[in-house]
Amino acid sequence: MRLLVTGGRTGYLGRHVVTLARSAGHDVVAVGSADADLRDAAAVAGLVATHLPEAVIHTAYAQSDWAVTATGAAHVARACATYDARLVLVSSDVVFSGASGRYDESAPPDPITPYGAAKAAAETATLAMVADAVVARTSLILGDGQSPHERLVHSLLGGAEGALFDDEMRCPVHVADLAAALVELASSDHRGVLHAAGADAMSRLDLGRLIARRDGLAPTQLRGRSREAAGVRGPVDVRLDSTRAAGLLTTRLRGATEFL
């Protein structure tokens, strides 16, 4: 399969997708912001027209930039529809407010942050424009020692100021598991929304303590605090129900208690 991966040059998840897809024998085009500005519809269309991929895995985003995350995803979706490419959009659990706690694929997005709203808009554009698109919602991504969360834990245990949220429930996923699931979805017949998160729900503090134990550090030295105390707005309890993915995919999405 000829596969184009946005964020494939420098993105944390995108680089893992590129490596895994190439090792599986796919013809992979890794692209980054230097190849095409996602905010430029013509540039995105030109990129897809040049490479004519059979599928696109869209991992690229900018958390604080609506034009990249939402409008950029719409440009990717339009290009895929024009050039008949399957699209796998990576979305996030932050499309939910956290009011319901546990969410399956039937739950309507109700974001409470600008980033969550941008991701929800990206989902809408993708599903509206690409008939066989997949929206893969996921959670905290880590596992190889180089993720932002793992680096943060090491920084805190090295003496940096700060604490980890003890009230925010997420379903962390190993970056290699998620990359494999995305490549599998790109070559499958599945379409629509699919939750692809890890099997275990836990707070950022509990996740940090697992990372510390894995790396031979002192987990009890990590401090916790609530989102409210930190003055940071965001969903508190967004546990993705990935039961459907477990039955559909051959890739197993392990829980953090297992992979850490």
- The residues carrying an active-site annotation are 115
Q: What is the Cα–Cα distance from 67 to 82, expressed in whole angstroms?
A: 21
* Distances 119 to 52, 114, 201 between C-alpha atoms, Å: 25, 9, 21
Q: For 139-163, give one letter per residue: b (16+ CB within 10 A) or e.
A: bbbbbeeebebbebbbebbeeeeeb
Q: What is the Cα–Cα distance from 30 to 166, expressed in whole angstroms?
A: 37
The amino acid at 174: H
End-to-end CA distance of the chain: 32
Q: What is the Cα–Cα distance from 243 to 231, expressed in whole angstroms?
A: 33
